[in-house]
Amino acid sequence: MIRRSWAEPFKIKMVEHLRMTTRAERESAIREAGYNTFLLRSEDVYIDLLTDSGTSAMSDRQWAGMMLGDEAYAGSANYYRLERAVRDVYGYKHLIPTHQGRGAEHLLSRLCIKPGQVVLGNMYFTTTRAHQELAGGRFVDVICDEANDPDDLSPFKGNVDIKKLANAIESYGAGRIAYFCLQCNVNMAGGQPISLANVRAVREICQRHDIPIYLDATRAVENAYFIKMREPGQSDRSIEDILLEICSLTDGCTCSAKKDALVNIGGFLCLNDDALAEEARNQVVLFEGLHTYGGLAGRDMEAMAIGIRESVQIDHIRARIGQVEYLGNLLIKAGVPIVRPVGGHGIFIDAARFLPHLPRDQFPAQSLTCALYIDSGVRAMERGAVSAGRDPDTGENIFPELELIRLTIPRRVYTQAHMDVTAESVIDLRDRAEEVVGLRMTSEPRYLRFFQARFEPVEGQSVFRRMPARATVSP
């Protein structure tokens, strides 16, 4: 049988023009941005692969829904429609909307972590761990070893190592463990999924020790797709069905709706426990807004309710992950070192191997994001030592095993041609990688430093040792 290609299950109704820049303009823009792509103006970016967060294109139905915003302070009709969508698709009992994912993480951490407790999980996420630490907790990683090996081709590299989990419960004692924080399509590991079998095993062991599990449902829909495609016995099930089972094995979730759920802003906390939900509804008023809007406008909740239902449609998810895979395959074919298998939301380039001449304390991944931007106006994100930050107890830099840059694909935004241009730029850079110099940090914010830190090249005035002799493909 001939395998047919996927194509987008939509056509384009409105376009947003992109500004083309020259290489000299980009050199100057990144210098002014302190060699941090987060500090660039988006006007100076051609293809923006910084994040898939809040960058999705909404559908005509979502935009139409924006006109149905019920902007009442209390009891908005949109809240009730959102509640129904979340119940139908995720299955939890109580919904507390928040302005975005970290609002939900803040609430959950305040509610469930006592100072001195630990949170177990399958790899940290930046904002999630920051809130756990602010609440006095410490994060303990029990992800499988395969997650840290970019070349390991296991299908579920986001899996929890059940032995590490059992050992952690044994050494800390169940009473000191606030909860298990279960990541889906583990972001910092390269968007790697967990298997349903693994979630069931985690549930079994946590239940035995009375340890609640809270899911980070941010990319759970995309994880459900990988389960359908890769896990024996799951191929006939719908995305909805698999997702409901994942959620049913947990006690609640935090979710950034800015990813899977196809909105530009929004998030939520879900809880099954009545008393905890009542407390969360009480505390959300302090930090986000009344429990029927949580920092969102009515129209935002309507767009989210519609986006949640669109997100689980198989044609959508196949094209979304297909596009990520398309870019990944171009790079794999050219021999670029990327995390494999290709994950759900982006391509993660192994910067340590891409720039082997740079020591880790010169932040090779940060340098590579700058070189890529200068080369073609493509904006990527560092996911290595800068993102990992410092140990909260010793103050030392953390050098995680993976030193990556992420080319994150917004949903329903770019075309295959944008992917081609991106791949060409990465491949060109790989061929003259030795020209890229390292960076030193000149200013370091206290929290989540990767967002606002500033850098300078360790030598010269650019991240390129010398201007390349040959012409580059300026967009």
Which residues here bind ligand F0G, judged by CB under 6 A?
A: 51, 53, 100-102, 125, 127-128, 187, 216, 218, 256, 258, 267
Q: How far is the CB of 214 from ligand F0G (least distance, A)?
A: 11
Q: How far is the CB of 424 from ligand F0G (least distance, A)?
A: 24
Q: How far is the CB of 243 from ligand F0G (least distance, A)?
A: 16
One-letter amino acid of 11: K
Residue 251 Cα distances to 180, 206, 273, 316, 378, angstroms: 10, 11, 8, 28, 40
Q: Which residue is nearest to ligand F0G (CB)?
A: 101
Q: Which of 41, 60, 61, 73 is catalytic?
A: 73
Nearer to ligand F0G, 216 or 403 (CB): 216
User: What is the phi/psi pair of residue 271, to 5°?
Assistant: -140, 145
Nearer to ligand F0G, 99 or 291 (CB): 99
> What does the DSSP assignment read for 228-254?
HHHSTT-TTS-HHHHHHHHHHTSSEEE
CA torsion, points 355, 360, 32, 410, in degrees to nearest 10? Answer: 70
Question: Among candidates 383, 417, 414, which has minimal Cα distance to 400?
Answer: 383
60 noted as active-site residue? no
Nearer to ligand F0G, 223 or 323 (CB): 223
Establish whether the linkage from the previous residue to 356 is cis, with ω within 30° of 0.
no
Nearer to ligand F0G, 181 or 437 (CB): 181
Nearer to ligand F0G, 34 or 121 (CB): 121
Nearer to ligand F0G, 150 or 344 (CB): 344
Q: How far is the CB of 53 from ligand F0G (least distance, A)?
A: 4
> What does the DSSP assignment read for 139-176?
EEE-B-GGGG-TT---TTTT-B-HHHHHHHHHHH-GGG
What span, in angstroms and rounded, lies between the C-alpha atoms of 322 and 336?
Answer: 19
Beta strands at 177-183 and 213-216: parallel, antiparallel or unpaired: parallel
Q: Which of 44, 48, 216, 260 is catalytic?
A: 216
Q: How far is the CB of 98 from ligand F0G (least distance, A)?
A: 9
Question: Among candidates 152, 47, 29, 20, which has minimal Cα distance to 407?
Answer: 47
450 noted as active-site residue? yes
Sign of CA dihedral 42, 46, 48, 49: negative
Q: Which of 79, 92, 124, 125 is catalytic?
A: 125
Nearer to ligand F0G, 51 or 369 (CB): 51
Nearer to ligand F0G, 10 or 38 (CB): 38
Q: How far is the CB of 253 from ligand F0G (least distance, A)?
A: 10
Beta strands at 118-121 and 177-183: parallel, antiparallel or unpaired: parallel
394 noted as active-site residue? no
126 noted as active-site residue? yes
Cβ atoms of 81 and 301 within 8 Å: the answer is yes
Beta strands at 404-408 and 381-383: parallel, antiparallel or unpaired: antiparallel
Q: Which of 81, 157, 259, 412 is catalytic?
A: 259
Q: How far is the CB of 267 from ligand F0G (least distance, A)?
A: 5
End-to-end CA distance of the chain: 39
398: alpha, beta or left? (left if phi > 0; alpha if psi -120 to 50): beta
Any alpha helices (H) in 273-415, and if so which ranges?
274-287, 298-311, 314-333, 351-354, 364-376, 385-388
Q: How far is the CB of 48 from ligand F0G (least distance, A)?
A: 12
11 noted as active-site residue? no
Question: Among candidates 412, 380, 473, 456, which has minimal Cα distance to 262?
Answer: 412
Q: What is the DSSP letter of 338?
A: B
What span, in angstroms and rounded, lies between the C-alpha atoms of 373 and 418?
Answer: 14
Q: Which of 79, 363, 450, 455 is catalytic?
A: 450
Nearer to ligand F0G, 76 or 408 (CB): 408
Q: How far is the CB of 354 from ligand F0G (least distance, A)?
A: 20
Q: Which of 383, 406, 412, 449 is catalytic?
A: 383
Q: Residue 290 has which token pair?
A: 């009344």
Cβ atoms of 293 and 267 within 8 Å: the answer is no
Name the one residue in this structure whose structure tokens are 């909105």.
263
Cβ atoms of 473 and 428 within 8 Å: the answer is yes
- Please identify every residue annotated as catalytic: 73, 125-126, 216, 259, 383, 450
